Amino acid sequence: MEDWSAIAAEVAAAIGDVGFEVTLRKKTAGPSTPWDTTPVETDDTAMMCIDDRYRVRDAQGNLLQQSMRTLTVAVGDAIPAKADRVLVRGAWHEIAEVRPLAPGGVDLLYDVDLMGAR
pLDDT digits (tens, 9 = 90+) for 11-64: 899 998 999 999 999 998 888 888 988 888 999 999 999 988 766 667 777 766
8 A C-beta contact, residue 65 and residue 51: no
Q: In the CATH scheme, what architecture does the domain 4-117 have?
A: Beta Barrel (2.40)
pLDDT of amino acid 76: 85
Residue 28: closest CA among 19, 41, 18, 39: 41
8 A C-beta contact, residue 99 and residue 70: no
Q: How far apart are the first and last CA of the chain?
A: 45
How far, in Å, CA of 92 to CA of 69, rounded? 13
The residue among 79 and 59 whose pLDDT is bigger is 79
Percent of the chain predicted with pLDDT > 90:
49
The residue among 2 and 86 whose pLDDT is bigger is 86
Could you give the count of Cα atoms lying within 13 Å of 64 in the half-sphere of its Cβ?
Answer: 10
Q: Which residues contact 35 (CB under 8 A, 6 or more apart)?
A: none
Mean pLDDT of the chain: 87
SS3 110: strand
